[in-house]
Amino acid sequence: MMLKRMVAIFLLLPVLCMPLAALSYARDFAVTYGHMALFDGYQSNGLHGYFGISKGLTEQFEANVFTQVELTPTIGSDVQIGFDVSYSLLGKRWDAEGYAGSGVNMLASAGILTGFHNPEGRFAIDSVFLRLTPVTVGTSHSGKRDRFLSMGLAWNFHDKKLSLLWNILLSDIYITGTYKGVAY
């Protein structure tokens, strides 16, 4: 059962990413990894990982598709897929003319989480969330960005409860970015 869930989730993730890859106004595309915690009564007290992709949409907007996976004590026993759109609060994250954006920034995000966090234990959309990332360091121009101390609130539709979500550190490694292949 757990193996079937993991396989289904990882097969679904690339399908969700395809629309993002088609959006080509911003030239950056990154792989994201890090820590994740959501205090909603469904997650265990173990370590959870955050793995996904980040795609620039405009000079100040980006989209993220990600999965949150339990790593300990039982790998894969809790899996969620999420989608959010983030807005850079302190300036451009990317410039249409190919220049690096603001090297230090803040992000405000809104998104959804899908998973098994409902009383029936079925895979469904279960939460909407708002998140603030107070510090980001790096840009697509430098090839790496770190997002520190993200905190937010998630509303679970099924339980009608508000929960805290947070990330200590998320790192974006840019596969394509404004520093690669841009003629100035």
Question: Whole-model pTM?
Answer: 0.81
What is the distance between the alpha carbons of residues 5 and 135, in angstroms, rounded to a whole number? 34
**Domains delineated in the chain:** 2-176 (2.40.160.20)
pLDDT at 143: 85
Q: Which segment of 40-44, 142-146, 149-153, 158-162 scores lowest on mean pLDDT?
A: 40-44
In this predicted model, what pLDDT tens digit does every residue of 88-136 receive, in sequence order?
999 888 776 766 677 899 999 999 999 887 788 788 888 999 999 999 9
Give the model's pLDDT for residue 75.
83
